[in-house]
Chains A and B, each alone.
Chain A
Amino acid sequence: MRRGTFIAGGFALAGGAMVVQALPPLAARAAASDVVDVSLTATPLTFAPFPGISFQGLAYNGSIPGPLLRIRYGQRLRARYVNRTGEPSTIHWHGMILPNAMDGVPDVTQVPVADSGAFVYEYTPDPPGTRWYHSHAGHQTLLGLFGMIVVEDPRDERADQDIALVFHDVPKPASVEAALAGTSTAPMVDPLGSPELLAMSPDDRMGDEIAYAAHCINGASYPKASPIVVQVGQRVRLRILNANVTQTRYVRLAGHVLRVTHADGNPLAQPVNVEALRVGVAERYDAWVEFTKPGAWLLQGLSADPMAFEQAVVVHTPGMEHATPQGSPSALEGVRYFTYELAGLAQAVGAWPAGGRIDVSRSYVLGGGQWASDRWTMNGSAWPNTEKIAVRRGDRVEVRFTNKTDMHHPMHLHGHVFEIVEINGHALRHPLFKDTSLVDPNGGTMTWRFSATSPAGRWLLHCHNDIHMMDGMMTEVDYA
Chain B
Amino acid sequence: MRYLRLFAGLLAVAAAVALSVVHARAAGEPFAGGDAAQGAKLVQASGCEGCHGAGFTGGIGPALVGIEKRLTAAQVADKIQHPKAPMPNFGFTDAQAADLVAYLSGLDGGTGKPVVKIVPAEPTDQATVLVTFSGTPPSDVQVEAVMRMGAREHGTGWVPLQKTDDPHVVAAKVRFTMGGPWIVRVRYGKGAAMDVPVTVDG
| Interfacial residues, chain A to chain B (CB-CB below 8 A) | 51-54, 174, 185, 200-207, 215, 221-223, 296, 298, 306-310, 312, 314, 322-331, 369-371
Contacts and interface: CB of A to CB of B under 8 A. Distances in A.
Nearest to B45: A330
B83 A324 contact: yes
Interface of B: 2-10, 41, 44-47, 50-51, 59-60, 82-91, 119-122
B3 A200 contact: yes
Contacts of B10: 201-203
Contacts of B51: 222-223
Contacts of A53: 120
B89 A325 contact: yes
B56 to A, nearest CB: 14
Across chains A and B, which 3 residue pairs bring their CB atoms closest together, nearest first?
A309-B47, A223-B86, A327-B88
B45 A54 contact: no
Contacts of A314: 85-86
Contact of B60 (A202, A223, A296): A223
B3 A326 contact: no
5 contacts: A51-B59, A206-B3, A207-B2, A324-B87, A327-B90
Given A200-B3, A330-B46, A325 B59 contact: no
B91 A326 contact: yes
Given A51-B59, A308-B45, A310-B47, A298 B4 contact: no
Given A296-B85, A324-B88, A324-B89, 8 more contacts: A52-B121, A200-B3, A203-B5, A204-B3, A222-B50, A306-B44, A310-B47, A322-B85
Contacts of B90: 327-330
Q: Dominant SS at the A interface?
A: loop
Contacts of B46: 308-309, 327, 330
Given A330-B45, A331-B45, A205 B88 contact: no
A222 B46 CA distance: 13
B2 A298 contact: no
Given A51-B60, A223-B60, A308-B47, A203 B8 contact: yes
A343 B147 CA distance: 60
A205 B3 contact: yes
Given A201-B10, A205-B4, A206-B3, A324 B45 contact: no
A203 B6 CA distance: 5
B168 to A, nearest CB: 17
Nearest to B96: A329
B144 to A, nearest CB: 22
Contacts of B91: 326-327, 329
A202 B13 CA distance: 11
A185 B9 CA distance: 12
Contacts of B84: 324
Contacts of B121: 52
Nearest to A200: B3
Nearest to A326: B89
Given A223-B51, A308-B47, A201 B88 contact: no
